[in-house]
């Protein structure tokens, strides 16, 4: 062990009246016993402090990860809601066109249908690559 600990133990044994009467071999045994007891106490204190520090760091990291995940899901949710609203509007226009097919000769319905299909495709893409990717990552990391 460290030289300072050896010096302190030697000093404590040499100044103690109990240990001054012991022979050299017994003093060495006492020194080793004291060293092992001191080291055990130090290890216990240091390990418990290290465990507490590690737990607090893990808790902070988990909280930051949750916050990041909430932010991502919020943004994805807002974008999806907007795109779904647009697609519902386009589908409503198409249904209105179907109802009035005889009256609306001038309008071209395929523009609305194409736009609606593009928006629906974007929504499906966002769902597949955004949300499902995150779910797969979470399940691989055993967080779910």
Q: What is the pLDDT of residue 144?
A: 44
Instruction: Note the pLDDT tens digit of each residue in 47-105.
Output: 888 888 889 999 888 888 888 888 888 888 888 889 888 888 888 877 777 666 655 44
Asked if 69 and 35 touch (Cβ cutoff 8 Å), the reply is no
CA neighbor of 6 nearest in space, from 22, 16, 14: 14
Tens of pLDDT, residues 127-138: 778 777 777 777
Instruction: List the domain boundaries for the chain.
Output: 3-140
Q: Give the contacts of 104 (CB within 8 A, at least 6 positions apart).
A: 97
Question: What's the mean pLDDT when you consider all of the chain?
Answer: 77
């Amino acid at each position: 062990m460290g030289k300072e600990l050896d010096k302190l133990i030697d000093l404590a044994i040499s100044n103690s009246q109990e240990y001054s009467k012991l022979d050299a071999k017994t003093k060495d045994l006492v020194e080793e016993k004291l060293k092992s007891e001191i080291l055990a106490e130090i290890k216990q204190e240091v390990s418990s402090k290290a465990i507490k520090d590690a737990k607090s760091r893990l808790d902070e990291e988990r909280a930051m990860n949750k916050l990041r995940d909430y932010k991502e899901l919020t943004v994805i949710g807002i974008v999806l809601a907007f795109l779904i609203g647009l697609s519902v509007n386009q589908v409503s226009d198409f249904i209105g066109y179907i109802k009035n097919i005889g009256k609306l000769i001038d309008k071209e319905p395929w523009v609305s249908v194409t736009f609606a299909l593009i928006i629906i495709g974007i929504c499906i893409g966002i769902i597949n690559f955004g949300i499902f990717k995150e779910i797969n990552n979470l399940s691989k990391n055993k967080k779910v």
